[in-house]
Amino acid sequence: MIRCADVTKSYDLAGRSVAALRGVSFEIPARGFYAIMGASGSGKSTLLHLLGGIDAADSGEIEIGQARIDGLDEARLTRFRRRGVGIVFQQFNLIATMTAADNVALPGLIAGEPAGAMRERALSLLERLGLGDRASHRPEALSGGEQQRVAIARSLLFEPPVLLADEPTGNLDSASSEKLWSVLGELASEHEMTVVMVTHEPAAAAHCERVLVLRDGLVAGEINAEHRDAGDLAAEYQRLCGA
Ligand code: ADP
Ligand code: MG
């Protein structure tokens, strides 16, 4: 379903090359709810951006679904970004002057889809995420957890088979975080999606099936997270990171 083989990525920083990923290989064979953990700077966001096709690897292979996404031409890459994957960033990136429903429908309008159908779909997604009564609110009238769920609804507009979320609960209190992890887990199991969430919170990873641990741009190991609580996971994570 998702496969990376020897993926590398460096950034140029003031003429100096910074290696963000130094040969990352892993496989997510089946649908489900997965986490990527690692210290700050270990390459989590870089990996998520490559999986989402919003940045290109320097070398290596990336397969999502049945398709290789490294080396796609611009037209196919645009289609993949729109239909093949949904991305939720840590900052909600909602448009302040638009209602929740309009924010969710916007990618559809940009893609030239009929407005009425997009609005209907936006409302049903907001409903599904427990925000049916917030559809006509602007972001400023929503809590952080509600705004994050609007951003998730927006990422689901085209029903992508894969949802990528970068520290989705980084700005939320623990009650809102718990709610959001449950929603992501439900999306993975009920809607036959693969959800990959970047997090540094063991409590978040405990909701997942498996945790990929990154360290200095490499895979330090994987943790089977089923039947583990947050404390247990944190200990295993510390062991893998040698911290
Ligand atoms: P994480 O999300 O795990 O904190 P990142 O993937 O954001 O890590 O970053 C990995 C490494 O790449 C870090 O050393 C970071 O400073 C560097 N990096 C990330 N993005 C850029 C960029 N746009 N320009 C230069 N360096 C970057
Ligand atoms: Mg990051």
pLDDT digit string (tens) for 118-129? 999 999 999 988
Cα of 89 vs centre of ligand 2, distance in Å, is 10
pLDDT of amino acid 216: 96
- Asked if residues 148 and 180 have their Cβ atoms less than 8 Å apart, the reply is yes
Q: Cα–Cα distance between 229 and 116 in angstroms, integer?
A: 44
pLDDT digit string (tens) for 52-105? 999 999 999 999 988 899 888 999 998 898 889 999 988 888 999 999 999 999
Predicted confidence band of residue 240 (pLDDT cuts 50, 70, 90): very high
pLDDT above 90: percentage of residues in the chain: 74
Say yes or no: CB of residue 45 within 6 Å of ligand 1. yes
Ligand having the closest approach to the CA of 217: 1
What is the chain's Cα-based Rg? 18
Predicted confidence band of residue 171 (pLDDT cuts 50, 70, 90): confident
Q: Cα–Cα distance between 3 and 27 in angstroms, integer?
A: 4
pLDDT digit string (tens) for 188-209? 888 889 999 999 889 999 999 9
pTM of the shown model? 0.92
pLDDT digit string (tens) for 2-13? 999 999 999 999
**Residue whose CB lies within 8 A of the most ligand 1 atoms, among 8, 17, 22, 46, for a mutation test:** 46
Q: Which residue has the tokens 């409302």?
A: 123
Neighbours of 192 (CB within 10 A): 11
- In this predicted structure, the answer to whether residue 184 has a pLDDT above a threshold of 70 is yes
Tokens of 102: 């309009």
Say yes or no: CB of residue 148 within 6 Å of ligand 1. no
Take atom 7 of ligand 1 and give the residue whose Cα is closest: 45
Burial state string for 208-241 with b = 16 or more CB within 10 A and e = fewer than 16: bbbbbbbbebbbbeebebeebeeeebbebbeebb
CA distances from 80 to 64, 74, 147, 200, 229 (A): 10, 10, 25, 28, 35
Tokens of 152: 């998730």
Atom from ligand 1 closest to the CA of residue 45: 2
Q: Cα–Cα distance between 162 and 67 in angstroms, integer?
A: 13
